[in-house]
Amino acid sequence: MAKMTKEEVRQTKDWMKTEEYKELNFKRKSIVINPERACQPLGAVLCSAGFEGTMPFVHGSHGCVAYYRNNLSRHFREPIAAVSTSLTEDGAVFGGQANGFEGFKNCLNLYKPKMFAISTTCMTEVIGDDLGAIVNNARAKGFLPEDVPAPYANTPSFVGSHIDGYDNMLAAIIDTLGVKGESVSDVINIIPGFDTTTGNINEIKRLLTIMKVPYLVIADYSNTLDSPLNGEYKLYNEGATTLEDTKNCVNNKATIALQKFSTKKTIALLADKFKQEAKAVKSPVGIKFTDEFLMAVSEITGKEIPKEIEDERGRAVDSMTDAQQYIHGKKFAIFGDPDILTGLTSYLLEMGGIPKYVLCSNGNEEFKNDVEALLKEYGCDEGEVYIDKDLWHLHSLVMTGPVDMLIGPSHGKFVAREAGVPHIRLGYPIFDRVNIHRYPFYAYSGVINLTTWIVNKFIEIVDDTSDDAHFELLR
């Protein structure tokens, strides 16, 4: 085959930026290209990292676990512990029970977990291994002591995405550990959802402390995945949700989840089985959703929102009005997980920005309706919402209808480069910038952070591209 000439290469590249190509691209049904979506067990491993002394125990090949550990480590820049049952061909033929038994035994001996959080892979789902039976048989045969809880969740990679794996694992843990008591405490449960911004969790805790609200964060990895460097490696870091607290969490006054799509099953479990007041709020991104979150807390607990927080809010609004001129009318393409996108859409609209493309590889109709309602509320008729689409679709969108900025995980950088526009990293995963996950984009502090990142990026571009005459001191 002859080598393409430079001209042929350029022509092909140019064709990929056309309406004609976009049409062809949107017609495809059987191939997914650059999806911003991972598989369920990754979410299960993340969730497990939020519990005291817990070892994520993945039933399947160790290759899967190597991938989850790599992926999460690259984002958090932290050690991620997880084991597998190291299944091979014979496991495919005879089932994975024997490896399960041996896995429990070896893991208990080496890593002494207080709890196993068991999830599955597509292999064990396809061969039809019965986790309940494996756990029961392991207990009966003495491989798994009675005092080590072993909640298990089916997390097939061919259903849903990482956010569902998080939800399934969390529901299993609460279902297994939770013991309904007689009395109800004053504590409210906070469930962050699949949120890999540890700064968000810390920010919510800080606000609840200011409000003097007793709270329990369930699946709290804000410390375990942001642990101090002090010369000692701890397999199980301090600060995760304790098993005792998890047992009692069903007796707490209420549960608020900070994400809706990654906690559906868990919220339903708490409400239906444990008869708890449990609900998800919109992720507190931007002023409006933060107000709503605080009002929900206030309503449930009877605690007033103090002046200190009102002042914080005022400072955030001040930062917005100071900087809104740089965002007003600017067009954004945003992508990532559904809850973050809903919040981000709201924030951008509050700033007068135009969320031109809101693209979610793992969003459903409900998500689409939520975002479209927001667009309508602000009279933004330029916004388009795409579900079950990938970043190659996004490529076609921004090449045919340009935007000023991309906001989303690192994978979007290829589209941003093609489009020649800046890309602010937000969500999961972030592999190519440091420390972003330590800064909240939730609540009023988050408003200031988002505004800082977005606006200063726009200003930097003006500085970088202006001629001498327009290279001004004032911006």
Partner 1 sequence: MAINIKESEEIVEDVLNIYPEKPRKNRQEHIGVNKKDACGSCVAKSNLKSLPGVMTPRGCAYAGSKGVVWGPVKDVINISHGPIGCGHYSWGTRRNLANGVPGVENFMPFQFTTDFRERDIVFGGDKKLEQAIHELKGLFPTTKGFVVESECPIGLIGDDIEAVAKKTSADLNTTVIPVRCEGFRGVSQSLGHHIANDSIRDYVVGTGKLDDSQKTKYDVAILGDYNIGGDVWASMKVITEMGLNVIAHWSGDGSIEEMRITHEVNYILLHCYRSMNYISNYYNEKYGIPWIEYNFFGPTKIKESIRKIAALFDEHIQEQSEKVIEKYEPKMQAVIDKYRPRLEGKKVMILVGGLRPRHIVGAYEDLGMQVVTAAYEFAHSDDYERTTKELEDGAIVADDLNEHEFIELAHRLKPDLVASGIKEKYVFQKMGIPFRQMHSWDYSGPYHGYDGFEIFAKDMDLAINSPSWKFVKPSWKK
Q: Residue 81, interface with partner 1 (CB under 8 A)?
A: yes
In the shown chain, the binding pattern of residues 385 to 404 toward partner 1, with x for contact by CB under 8 A and - for none, equals: -------x------------
Rounded Cα distance between 117 and 281, Å, is: 26
According to DSSP H, which parts of 121-223 are helical? 122-126, 131-140, 162-177, 198-210
Q: Indicate the SS3 state at residue 386.
A: strand
Q: Residue 276 corresponds to which tokens in the numbers above?
A: 């708890």
Rounded Cα distance between 466 and 241, Å, is: 51
Tell me the sheet residues that pair with 279.
256
| Residue from 5, 147, 233, 474 binding partner 1 (CB under 8 A) | 233
| Residue from 41, 151, 383, 440 binding partner 1 (CB under 8 A) | 41
Least Cβ distance, residue 343 to partner 1 (angstroms): 23
Cα dist. 75→68, 72, 102, 131 in Å? 11, 5, 31, 30
| Residue from 49, 50, 52, 71 binding partner 1 (CB under 8 A) | 71
| Residue from 18, 20, 23, 66 binding partner 1 (CB under 8 A) | 66
Catalytic member of 122, 213, 380, 385: 122
**Number of Cα atoms under 13 Å in the Cβ half of residue 200:** 28
| Residue from 45, 46, 122, 219 binding partner 1 (CB under 8 A) | 122
Rounded Cα distance between 451 and 184, Å, is: 41
Q: Residue 364, interface with partner 1 (CB under 8 A)?
A: no
| Residue from 5, 7, 31, 307 binding partner 1 (CB under 8 A) | 31
**Number of Cα atoms under 13 Å in the Cβ half of residue 37:** 22
Q: Residue 18, interface with partner 1 (CB under 8 A)?
A: no
Residue 110's contacts (CB-CB under 8 Å, 6 or more residues apart) are none
Considering beta carbons, is residue 125 or 370 the nearer one to partner 1?
125
The region of 81-89, 179-187, 189-197, 344-352 touching partner 1 under the rule CB under 8 A is 81-89
Considering beta carbons, is residue 33 or 184 the nearer one to partner 1?
33
Based on the number of CB atoms within 10 Å of its own CB, is 305 exposed (0-12), middle (13-18) or buried (19 or more)?
middle
Q: Residue 25, interface with partner 1 (CB under 8 A)?
A: yes
Q: Residue 42, interface with partner 1 (CB under 8 A)?
A: yes
| Residue from 114, 137, 139, 159 binding partner 1 (CB under 8 A) | 159
The region of 156-164, 195-203, 247-255, 453-461 touching partner 1 under the rule CB under 8 A is 156-164
Least Cβ distance, residue 434 to partner 1 (angstroms): 11
The DSSP line for 66-80 is HHHHHHHHHHH-S--
Q: Residue 158, interface with partner 1 (CB under 8 A)?
A: yes
Q: Residues in contact with partner 1, total (CB under 8 A)?
A: 86
Q: Residue 134, interface with partner 1 (CB under 8 A)?
A: no
Q: Residue 275, interface with partner 1 (CB under 8 A)?
A: no
Q: Residue 329 corresponds to which tokens in the numbers above?
A: 């009318």
CB 423 within 8 A of CB 412: yes
Q: Residue 238, interface with partner 1 (CB under 8 A)?
A: no
Q: Residue 142, interface with partner 1 (CB under 8 A)?
A: no
Rounded Cα distance between 22 and 15, Å, is: 10
84-103: which residues touch partner 1 (CB under 8 A)?
84-89, 91-92, 99-100, 102-103
Rounded Cα distance between 467 and 137, Å, is: 74
Q: Is residue 249 annotated as a catalytic residue, yes or no?
A: no
407-466: which residues touch partner 1 (CB under 8 A)?
411, 414, 418, 431
| Residue from 82, 188, 320, 426 binding partner 1 (CB under 8 A) | 82
Pairing between strand 277-280 and 254-257? Answer: parallel
Q: Is residue 126 annotated as a catalytic residue, yes or no?
A: yes
Q: Residue 462 corresponds to which tokens in the numbers above?
A: 């003006």
Rounded Cα distance between 42 and 156, Å, is: 11
Q: Residue 109 corresponds to which tokens in the numbers above?
A: 């001996």
Q: Residue 109, interface with partner 1 (CB under 8 A)?
A: yes
User: How far, rounded to the nearest angstrom, does the alpha carbon of residue 18 sit from its chain's CA centroid?
Assistant: 33
Least Cβ distance, residue 362 to partner 1 (angstroms): 9
| Residue from 5, 29, 420, 470 binding partner 1 (CB under 8 A) | 29
Q: Residue 110, interface with partner 1 (CB under 8 A)?
A: yes
Tell me which residues are annotated as active site. 122, 126
